[in-house]
Structure 1
Amino acid sequence: MKAGTGPLLSALLGLMLLSIPGSRGANPALVARITDKGLEYAAKEGLLTLQRELYKITLSDFSGDFKIKAVGRGHYEFHSLEIQNCELRGSSLKPLPGQGLSLAISDSTIGVRGKWKVRKSFLKLHGSFDLDVKSVTISVDLLLGMDPSGRPTVTASGCSSRICDLEVHMSGHLEWLLNLFHNQIESKLQKVLESKVCEMIQKSVTSDLQPYLQTLPVTAEIDNVLGIDYSLVAAPQAKAHVLDVLFKGEIFNRNHRSPVTTPTPTMSLPEDSKQMVYFAISDHAFNIASRVYHQAGYLNFSITDDMLPPDSNIRLNTKAFRPFTPQITRKYPDMNLELRGTVVSAPLLNVSPGNLSLSPQMEIEGFVILPNFAREPVFRLGVVTNIFASLTFNNSKITGMLHPDKAQVRLIESKVGMFNVNLFQAFLNYYLSKSLYPDVNDELAKGFPLPLPRRIRLHDLDFQIHKDFLYLGANVQYMRV
C-alpha cells in the first residue's frame, strides 16, 4: 500500500469493525467503540502521515502579465515550485453525528521554493523565490457507509483549506520589480496551494483509504470447523463523543453454514473513556460456537486403551475393568473396551460479573469390542460437571483456558450387573485432567481472532466480565514500517 493518510484512518476505522444494533435487523455479537482518546491518538498519527504526503504535492506553474507606469507592460512566470518544509502542529478528529468524522488541522506552516522569470520586449530576467505559508487550516468531513457486501466505505466531503498569512521573498536582478505586484503573486500562490491541499486529501481518501478498508475480510477462519462473519450490519454511527461501527460477528460452520435461529441480545455498554478503544463480546458468540461444535459432533469423544496415559493403573479391557463390574470378565473374557462420550446438549457459557462458567451434561456408554470387531453396549452413565473458564487477550486474539471441577457420575444402565460408580468416577476424572482437558486447552490457546487491520497492536489491556458480555479496554499503537 502507498504511504498516505489511508493507513492511519483505515487503522482507526478497522479498530471499529464491531457494532451496536443495526439496520439489518440483527444485533451484533461483537462491539467496538472508539473514544475521544482514541480519536485524539489517530489525529496525532494523521499529522505525521499528512506531512509526508504534502511533500509529494506537485504545484503547477503560473504566469501573468503586468503593467507599471514607469516600466510598461511585461510578462512574468513562476515555475519549479517545490515544498521544502512542512510543519503541522494542531489537529483534531471528532465524531460528526449521523455522518462520520470531521478532521481539522490548524496552526501549521508550509515552505515553498521556486523560480521566476520576467520578460519585457527583448529583455529576459530570472531569479528564485521563497514562500512562507503561515496559519494554514485544513478541514474535511469523512462520510462513513457500507457497501452491499457489508464492507465499510468512506468518502471525503466538504474539504476546505485556508491560508491566513503568506509572504514571498524574491531574489534576482529585478526583485524590486516583482515586489511591486507581490500581492497579485501571493494571491495566485495562495489559491494554488489551497486547491492542491484539498486535491491531495480527496485523492488519498479515494486511492488509499477506501481500497485499504475494502481489504478487511467479510469472513475469517477461527479453526478447521468455525468461521466468523465480519460483515457490518449497518453504516458506522457517530455520536457525541464516540464512534461505533456496526459488525455482525456471527460464528458459523465453515463446511455447512446454516442460518442462526436465535437472535443476539442487545448489550448496554458502560460509559468508559479512559482508553482508546473498547471491545464488547456477547456470550451469544460463544454459545453459537458451542452449538456449531455440538451439531457437528465435535464435542463428543471416544476413549480406547491406546489413548490412556502409559502410566495409567487402569486399562480399557475387561480384565482390568473387573473392579468396576465383576461380572464383565465372565461374560466377555479378555476383550478390549471402548468408552464413547456424548454431550447431551450444547453447553452454554454463563457470563455474570466476575464469572465465566458452563455446566456440560454428558453420557458415557461402554462397549465391549467383540472378536469380529463389532461393538456391544454393556453400560451407560450420566456425567455432570461445572467448568470455570478464564479468558485473556493478547494484541490480536482472545485465548482461553478451562478449569474444571470434579465430574459427578451416575449409573443409567448396566447389562453386566453391579457397577462401581465411585471407582469409575475417579478413573474418569483422572483421564479428563490428564488428556481431554489439556487437549481442549491447547486448542483454546490458539485464540479467537479480533478483527484488526494491519499494523495495529493493542496494549494496556483491561479485561472485565459484565452480565452477558465480556468487555475489553485497550490502547492502540500503530506500527509504522
Structure 2
Amino acid sequence: MSALITALIFAISEQTVNNLLDDIVISLETNTQNYQIPDQSFELDLAAIVNFDFTEIYLEKLKITGYQATMISPDSIDLDIESLNLKVSFQYKYELNGLIDKGTGLLEIINTTISTTALSSSQKTVKFSPLNTKVKVHDILIEVNKPDSKNQNWVFAFLKPELKDLISDQVKSIINSGIEAIDLGDMYTSFNNSDLAFNYSLSHPLTITDQMLKGESLGIFIQESNPNYNPPIPKPVDAVITEIEGIQFVASDYVLNSLSYAAFISGLLNFTITNSNLPQDLPFGLTTTTVGLIIPELIVEYGLGKPVNFSCNFVEPPFMNFVDNNEWSAQIKALGYMECEIFVDNEVALKLGVSVIGDARLYLEEWKIKGTINELKVDKVEVISATIDVNTDDVKDFINSSLETYIKTINDNALKNGIEIPDFGKFDLKDSKVKTGTGFLYLLINPSLSFTLEDLINFLG
C-alpha cells in the first residue's frame, strides 16, 4: 500500500486494566489452594555440598494486596504490588556427607513487594517489554518436621538467604515473562482455503495517556497473493474515541468494503449453480422443464428436459456502509450489481444484469449477534443479451420470493436466537453493546476475567 490508512481504532481504559487485575487476583486467591508446584532441587555450599530435593510441593494460601496499574504517557504502564504473601507445604530430602535426612515442612513468604514497568516496544504491533522489575522478599519462615526424630529447623535456617534470592529471581522471571507474553505478533491473519487475509497491524505507534491505551490499526482485508494495493473504495471516516471506559473499538465501513473488494478480485463472489452441486435431497433438477415454469420461453426455444446451468459474477464489489443510529444497534446497508447467465446445452440463452440491495439491524446480547435482516432483494433486472424473449418482472418476482423465504429462515433460525461469537480465552465479554454512526461502527465491551494459576502458567508458556 502506498499510504497507511487507519480503519480500526481500539482503546482500553486504565480503570478497565485495574478491574481485570482485580479479577485475576481474586481468581488466583480463590483457585490456587492445593495447587501442586513442580519438584525443585538445588545445592548449597556449607563447607561441604548439600543437595536439597523438594517434592509434593503444594500452594496452600496466596494473598495479594495493594496492587495498582498506572498508565504513564507516552508509552508505558506501571504495576505495583505492596504485599504478596503465600504459604506452601512440601516434602524434603537432603544429603550431607553421605547422610540422608527427610521429612515435611511449611514455607511462608511474607510481605513481598513488586514493581515493574511494561514498556510499549514496537511501532507496528501491540508488544510490551519489562523495565526495572524489582522483587523484594522481606521475610520467609520455614518450619520442618521429621516424624521419627527431632526438628531440623537449624539446618533450614541456613537456607533463608538462598531461598530469598531463589524466590525473588523466580517471581521476577514470571513477571517479565508475563509482560513479554503481551505480543500480538505481526497482527495479520490469513483465512484457510481462500486468498484473503486481514491486516490489522498498527498504522501508528500505541499511545498511552494517564487514562487509556489507544491503538490505530490498518484494519484492511487484502488479497494475500497481491497485498500491496490501495483498494478503490472510499477512505475511512475520521473517527475518535472520547469515552474513558471499558474496551472500545471503532471500525470504519472501510473494513467491510475492503473485504468486499478483496473477495471480488479473488473471485470469491462469483458462483455457478449446476445439477451437480444441488442438494441431493432436492426433488427436482435444473432443466428447461423446471426453469421453464418461470421462463416459459426456454421450453419454446430449447424443448423439455434440457440441462440448465446458472453463473453469476459481480461486475463490481458490493458496497456496504454503516448508517447513523441513535439506538444501541448496528444499521448496515448494502448494494451490488452482478451479471447472471443462464446456459442451456452450454449455450448462453440469457444474460441478465441484476441490482441487489440489502438492509439489516444487528445488536449484541450475551456475546451473540442478534437482529433482523430487514431487506435483501433484487431491485432491478435488465436483459443484456438473449436468444429468447423474457419478462424480467417475472424473473425479479421469482428471485425476491425465494429471497424472502431465505431471509425469514435466517431471521427466525439464526438471528432471533443469536449467532455465537467465538470466545477469547478466559475473558467474559457478555457485557457488550454496539451502535453505528455515519460510516463507522462503535463497540463497547466491559470485560471480566476468570483465571487460575494453571491458566497463568500455560499463558506464560
**Fold in common (TM above 0.5):** yes
In structure 2, C-alpha distance between the alignment counterparts of 1:162 and 1:351, rounded to whole Å = 53
> For this pair of structures, how many residues does the alignment match?
403
Match of 1:219 in 2: 188
Q: Distance in 2 between matches of 1:367 and 1:132?
A: 80
Mean Cα displacement is larger for which, 433-442 or 196-205?
433-442
Is 1:470 the counterpart of 2:441 in the alignment? yes
Tell me which structure has the larger Cα radius of gyration. 1
Structure 1 pair 310/25, CA: closer, same or farther in 2 (3 Å)? Answer: closer
Asked whether 1:425 is paired with 2:409, we answer no
Say whether the 8 Å CA contact 1:26–1:264 is kept in structure 2: no
- C-alpha separation in 2, matches of 1:436 and 1:358: 15
Alignment CA distance shift 1:338-1:61 (3 Å): closer
Cα separation, partners in 2 of 1:408 and 1:232, compared to 1, 3 Å: closer
Following superposition, the deviation at residue 404 of structure 1 comes to: 3.1
Aligned to 2:14: 36
**Quick one: structure 1 residues 394 and 236, their matched pair in 2 at CA, closer, same or farther if it must change by over 3 Å?**
farther
Does the 8 Å CA contact 1:457/1:479 hold for their aligned counterparts? no
Give, in whole Å, the separation in 1 of the partners of 2:266 and 2:273. 19
Alignment of 1:229-308 (within 5 A): 229-254=199-224, 256-262=225-231, 265=236, 267-274=238-245, 276-304=246-274, 307=278
What SS is found at the alignment partner of 1:424? helix
Q: 1:449 to 1:253 in 2, by over 3 A?
A: farther
CA 1:96/1:250 → structure 2, altered by over 3 Å: closer, same or farther? same
CA contact (8 A) 2:118 2:128 kept: yes
Letter in 2 for 1:154: F
Displacement, 1:361? 1.7
Shift of 1:347: 0.9
Q: In 1, Cα distance between the equivalents of 2:228 and 2:371?
A: 27
**Structure 1: tracts of 5 or more residues without a match:** 1-23, 64-78, 114-127, 171-184
8 Å contact 2:207–2:215 — kept in the other structure? yes
- The letter for the 2-side match of 1:317 is T
Q: Could you tell me whether the CA contact under 8 Å between 1:132 and 1:166 is conserved in 2?
A: yes
Q: Is the 8 A contact 2:220 2:254 kept in 1?
A: no
Q: 1:455 to 1:344 in 2, by over 3 A?
A: same
Structure 2 CA distance for aligned equivalents of residues 382 and 456 of structure 1:
47
1:460 maps to: 431
Q: Give a deviation string over 1:335-378, Cα, whole Å, max 9, x none.
A: 34333322221111111223201011223233332xxxx32x23
Task: Report SS of the residue matched to 2:67.
Answer: strand
Q: TM-score, normalised by structure 2?
A: 0.67
1:321/1:213 Cα in 2 relative to 1: closer, same or farther (>3 Å)? same
Question: Structure 1 residue 144 and structure 2 residue 116: aligned?
Answer: no
Quick one: structure 1 residues 438 and 462, their matched pair in 2 at CA, closer, same or farther if it must change by over 3 Å? same
Q: In the TM superposition, what is the alpha-carbon distance from 1:94 to its structure 2 partner?
A: 1.7
Q: Give 1:106's aligned amino acid.
A: E
Note the alpha carbon deviations across 1:382-422, whole angstroms, 9 max, x for none.
32232113445688897998553432333334544542222
- The aligned residue for residue 118 of structure 1 is none
RMSD between aligned residues: 5.2
Contact 1:31 / 1:281 at 8 angstroms: preserved in 2?
yes
For 1:42-441, list aligned pairs within 5 A: 42-47=20-25, 87-106=63-82, 133=110, 137-146=113-122, 150-160=124-134, 199-210=169-180, 212-214=181-183, 218-222=187-191, 224-225=193-194, 226-254=196-224, 256-262=225-231, 265=236, 267-274=238-245, 276-304=246-274, 307=278, 310=282, 316-317=287-288, 321=292, 324=295, 326=297, 328-334=298-304, 335-354=306-325, 355-369=331-345, 374-375=346-347, 377-391=348-362, 402-413=373-384, 415-416=386-387, 418-433=389-404
Seq. identity, %: 16
Q: Matches of 1:169 and 1:305 in 2, distance apart?
A: 79
CA 1:39–1:264: 2 relative to 1, 3 Å: farther
Aligned letter for 2:317? Answer: A
| TM-fit CA distance, 1:324 | 3.6
Distance apart, 1:297 and its partner CA:
2.2
2:127 counterpart SS class: strand
Task: Work out the CA distance in 2 between the residues paired with 1:129 and 1:405.
Answer: 69
Question: 1:473 and 1:455, CA in 2 relative to 1: closer, same or farther beyond 3 A?
Answer: same
SS of alignment partner, residue 211 of structure 2? coil
Deviation sequence 1:41-60 (CA, Å, 0-9, x none): 2322454688779x999999
Deviations 1:131-189 (A, max 9, x none): 8955x643221112228xx55432222334568x979999xxxxxxxxxxxxxx9xxx8
Question: Distance between the aligned counterparts of 2:354 and 2:295, measured in 1?
Answer: 16
- CA offsets, 1:90-130, max 9 Å, x none? 211121211221112225657899xxxxxxxxxxxxxx999
Q: TM-score, normalised by structure 1?
A: 0.64
8 A contact 2:136–2:168 mirrored in 1 = no
Offset of 1:287 from its aligned partner? 0.9
Native 8 Å contact 2:129 2:179 kept in 1: no
Distance in 1 (CA, whole Å) between partners of 2:450 and 2:290 is 63
